Amino acid sequence: MTNPKITTAAVTLLLASATLVPVAYTADEEAVRSSGGISYVSGGVGTASTDRLSALAKDFNLKLVFALKSGDYVSGVDVTIADAAGKTLLKAKSEGPWFLTRLPAGNFKIAATLDGKTETRTVAVGAEKLRTVDFRWAGE
């Protein structure tokens, strides 16, 4: 014989804890990563991915967008971010045309390499507001 109070409490606890568990993502969905204390996420292939990254954007202060000059988006871009003194803070590969990161306020040199062709930008990033920087390469 089970105790109805214990059963009710157990069900309530189970339901409450289920709301605290993050939604499981499939292997192809974006995951926020961290390297050297710098958080980043990339993706943007397909509507579900762009919707998810748009929802995450509030947690980041720099958005990089990668495309060909024709306007076609690209992925597989090698990203290197260095501080004003030239110290590399982050090296990563973009899994889609959007790359979001959270940096401390300051000036940074960003190098984005696609098929051996590197584009660089020097950008000032604030503590809160999302800054968007485009990188475009000539098509094939």
Query: What's the pLDDT tens digit per position in 3-40?
Result: 554 444 443 433 343 333 333 333 345 689 988 889 99
Query: What's the pLDDT tens digit per position in 79-116?
Result: 999 999 999 999 999 999 999 999 999 999 999 999 99
By the 8 A CB rule, do 62 and 101 touch? yes
Mean pLDDT within 49-62 = 92
